[in-house]
Structure 1
Amino acid sequence: MSLMGTREIMEIIPHRQPFLLIDTIEELEPGKRAVGKKCVTYNEPFFAGHFPGEPVMPGVLIVEALAQTGAVAILSQPDFKGKTAYFGAINNARFKQKVVPGDVLTLELEIVKQKGPVGVGSAKAMVNGKVAVTAELTFAVN
Structure 2
Amino acid sequence: MKSIEITSKLPYSAPFLFVDEITSVSENTIEGNYLFNKSQDFYRGHFKDNPVTPGVILAECMAQIGVVSLGIYLLSKQTEASGTPRIAMTSSNVEFIKPVYPGEKVFVKSEKKYFRFNKLKCVVIMTDTEENIICRGEISGMILKAES
Name the residue aligned to 1:95: 96
Following TM superposition, by how much is the alpha carbon of 1:4 offset from its aligned partner in structure 2, in angstroms?
A: 3.9
Of 136, 139, 146, 1:137 maps to 139
Deviation (angstroms), 1:84: 2.4
Contact 2:114 2:122 in 1 (8 A): yes
Shift, 1:10, TM fit: 4.0
| Residue of structure 1 equivalent to 2:119 | 118
Instruction: Name structure 2 gaps, 5 residues minimum.
Output: none
1:32 equivalent in structure 2: 28
Q: CA RMSD in A?
A: 1.7
Kindly report which structure 2 residues correspond to 1:1-142, keeping only aligned pairs within 5 A, or say none. 4=3, 8-29=5-26, 31-69=27-65, 70-77=67-74, 78=76, 79=78, 81=81, 82-91=84-93, 93-127=94-128, 128-142=130-144
How far off is 1:21 after superposition?
A: 0.7
* TM-score normalised over the length of structure 1: 0.87
Which of structures 1 and 2 has the bigger CA Rg? 2
Letter in 2 for 1:84: R
Distance 1:20 1:32 in 2: 23
How far apart in 2 are the matches of 1:4 and 1:100?
A: 27
Contact in 2 for aligned 1:9/1:24 (Cα 8 Å): no
Asked whether the equivalents of residues 124 and 136 of structure 2 are also in contact (C-alpha less than 8 Å), the reply is yes
**C-alpha separation between the residues in 1 aligned to 2:7 and 2:105?**
20
Unaligned 5+ runs, structure 1: none
